[in-house]
Amino acid sequence: MAEDKGKRDSLQMNRKGCQINNGFVQNEDNLEQDPDPGSSQDNPQPSTAGIDGSREPNVQRIQPYAGMPKEVLFQFSGQARYRLPREILFWLTIASVLVLIGATVALTVISPKCLDWWQEGPMYQIYPRSFRDSDKDGNGDLKGECLERVQERARMRLVYCSLIPQNQIMPGLFLVIAFCPLDDKHIWFQLSRTRVGKYTDYYIWHDCTHEDGTTIPPNNWLSVYGNSSWHFDEVRNQCYFHQFKKEQPDLNFRNPDVQEEIKEIIQFWLAKGVDGFSFDAVKFLLEATHLRDEIQINKTQNPDTVTHYSELYHDFTTTQVGMHNIVQGFRQIMDQYSREPGRYRFMGTEAYAESIDRTMLYYGLPFIQEADFPFNNYLTMLDTLSGNSVYEVITSWMENMPEGKWPNWMIGGPDSSRLTSRLGNAYVNMMNMLLFTLPGTPITYYGEEIGMGDILASNLNESYDINTLLSKSPMQWDNSSNAGFSEANHTWLPISSDYHTVNVEVSITEHFIF
């Protein structure tokens, strides 16, 4: 009985003037008012749906209230006064997000990029055969104490050297090695001269006339060091082409097998831990296939007397079509090995004696990268110094350098006369200071920081051109025997006579730049 009574009370509480409350309250004030007998509300319409859900609420007569069922809420949401603010807020949110994305992209593009390891500090360029001899044979190497000496001099933690022995990667240093031409003792040349398999065309061979010890070359092409760039080989009975010394035959880079061999060598050293490569003399990689004579500078000169490299226009033996494609192939290998986090592989090119516009091409194209930078040797070409000459060199590079690229500067190198021999001792500190204040990467050739000069020697007992050896004398560490370079009785090149006063020990004592 008590249960039945509770149900009746609940039913009575839910009825008010024959109106049914389906679980929500309308305007309680309106519910409490009795309808006027003479008004149109004598037959009031229910303001909510009936129990059977057959009627919808009249939203025109209902004010929003808390706890509305979704059917009523949807009716209100379609009204203009609620819909318009909601749409305005929605599109404002979308616009704000787009503005934030655009601002983020713009800031990323225009903000300075973080410098990579090859941009953060200077490079210290060494010639290993002349840097430090640890095994007392008179030839420099990269073993034992030499590694400590390299780290001592290369406080910038970046060393650029022309040759290193296998398995002698220096820990704690970024190492960039130069890729240099091979000599005629290499196994490839020995196999090529005997026409063994694929090696037959690894070099540039051509028929030539050789009678009574005299060779008539295929054309008038000249070596950089003078005289014909063709040399007769008695084993193959043909002439091979060499841009430099006859002991350095040119590889045939038009042969795909040669390109693959070179790429494998690059990959070998990168796998060993080398941080980058410098490719020497890249403008000499290819030569014209037609073998036409190059044009003389002085057309009235007797062709038989043209023996110096500077007497010809070298349109057929330098910067040939396809050369940049080979360099781009080297770049792709560097990029493959740069995918490891924090292991970007640097690539530089040497293109000495090129015009500034041709030099800039080694940076690559907007969407095709080549070198991180071509080595800038224009300051090493100054034989006399003035404010205007230095200004012209600096502005020429900076104004012609492609947008977004990185500059570099050097005042000496293995193929140029040393700073002291060119300009005198008075300019050593000043030019080193200039090197470190210019924007970009400064490159110091070993010994330039202490004012080493070219050696004075004429009989060096070496097969290479003497002029290229004068700036490669052994490093002068102290005033002991052989300047601290070696304990051998004889060094591969003589020590400069000024080593008692010009050496690393003295430079530290007198607080030179390094």
Tell me the pLDDT tens digit for each residue of 240-292: 999 998 999 999 999 999 999 999 999 999 998 889 999 989 999 999 999 99
Contacts of 208 (CB under 8 A, 6+ apart): 215, 216, 217, 218, 230, 232, 238, 239
Domain boundaries, the chain: 180-250+287-316
Q: Residue 497: what residue type?
A: S
Confidence of residue 388 (pLDDT cuts 50, 70, 90): very high
Highest mean pLDDT among 98-102, 121-125, 415-419: 98-102
Checking if the pLDDT of 448 tops 80, the result is yes
Give the three-class secondary structure for 468: helix
| Tokens standing for residue 503 | 């050496």
Checking if the pLDDT of 507 tops 90, the result is no
Task: Report how far residue 313's alpha carbon sits from residue 298's, in angstroms, rounded to the nearest whole number.
Answer: 10
Residue pLDDT, tens place only, 184-198: 999 999 999 999 999
Contacts of 287 (CB under 8 A, 6+ apart): 204, 221, 241, 243, 250, 316, 317, 320
Checking if the pLDDT of 420 tops 70, the result is yes
Residue pLDDT, tens place only, 26-80: 444 444 444 444 444 444 444 444 444 445 555 556 677 777 787 777 777 777 8
Q: Measure CA 249 to chain center.
A: 30
pLDDT value at residue 121: 85
pLDDT value at residue 389: 94
**Torsion sign, CA atoms 72, 74, 78, 80:** positive
- Farthest CA pair distance, the chain: 142
The position carrying tokens 């490839």 is 188
Buried/exposed code over 46-60 (b: 16+ C-beta within 10 A; e: otherwise)? ebbbeeeeeeebebe
| Tokens standing for residue 94 | 């979308």
Do the strands 209-211 and 214-216 form a parallel or antiparallel pair, or are they unpaired?
Answer: antiparallel
CB contact at 8 A, 43 and 37: no
Q: 42-46, 115-119, 507-511: lowest mean pLDDT where?
A: 42-46
Give the three-class secondary structure for 110: helix
pLDDT value at residue 182: 84
| pTM of the full structure | 0.74
Q: 30-34, 106-110, 134-138, 296-300: lowest mean pLDDT where?
A: 30-34
pLDDT value at residue 230: 97
pLDDT value at residue 11: 41
At the fourth CATH level, which superfamily is domain 180-250+287-316? Oligo-1,6-glucosidase; Domain 2 (3.90.400.10)
333-338: average pLDDT: 94
Higher pLDDT: 371 or 56? It is 371
Highest mean pLDDT among 22-31, 113-122, 504-513: 113-122
